[in-house]
Amino acid sequence: MEKTMDWEQSTLLNELTQGRDFTNMLRKHLHPSSSPETRQVLLDKILCSYDKALSLLNCSGYMVETKPRVSTLGSPESDASDKKDMFKKRKTSSGWSEQIRVCSATSLEGPLDDGYCWRKYGQKDILGSNFPRGYYRCTHRFSQGCLAGKQIQRSDEDPTIFEVKYRGRHTCNQVSHLVATPKEKGNHYREKQQVEEKQKQSEELLLSFETGLKVNTEDLDNRENIFPSFSFPIESEEVQNGLLRNSLMKNISPAFVSPATSESNYFSVSAFHMGSFDFSQNVQTSESELTEIISAPASVTNSPIVDLDISSLEKLEFDQSFPFDNPEFFTNFLQ
Partner DNA sequence: CACATTTGACCTGT
Partner DNA sequence: ACAGGTCAAATGTG
Interface with DNA (CB under 7 A)? 1, 3-4, 61, 79, 83-84, 86-88, 90, 92-93, 96, 117-128, 133-135, 139, 149, 151, 185-187, 189-190
**Phi-psi region for residue 219, left (φ > 0), alpha (ψ -120 to 50) or beta?**
left
Complex with DNA: residue 79 or 325, whichever CB lies closer: 79
Complex with DNA: residue 28 or 119, whichever CB lies closer: 119
Complex with DNA: residue 20 or 121, whichever CB lies closer: 121
Complex with DNA: residue 47 or 73, whichever CB lies closer: 73
3-state helix, strand, coil in the chain (%, to 5): 45, 10, 40
Question: Whole-number minimum distance, CB 9 to DNA, in Å?
Answer: 13
Q: Are 261 and 269 in contact (CB under 8 A)?
A: no
Question: Whole-number minimum distance, CB 156 to DNA, in Å?
Answer: 12
- E strands, 219-327, are 231-232, 277-278
Measured between its terminal Cα atoms, the distance across the chain in Å is: 46
Burial of 161: CB neighbours in 10 Å, binned 0-12, 13-18, 19+? buried
Question: Whole-number minimum distance, CB 121 to DNA, in Å?
Answer: 5
Q: Are 215 and 258 in contact (CB under 8 A)?
A: yes
Complex with DNA: residue 197 or 235, whichever CB lies closer: 197
Q: What is the DSSP letter of 69?
A: -
Question: Whole-number minimum distance, CB 179 to DNA, in Å?
Answer: 17
Question: Whole-number minimum distance, CB 88 to DNA, in Å?
Answer: 5
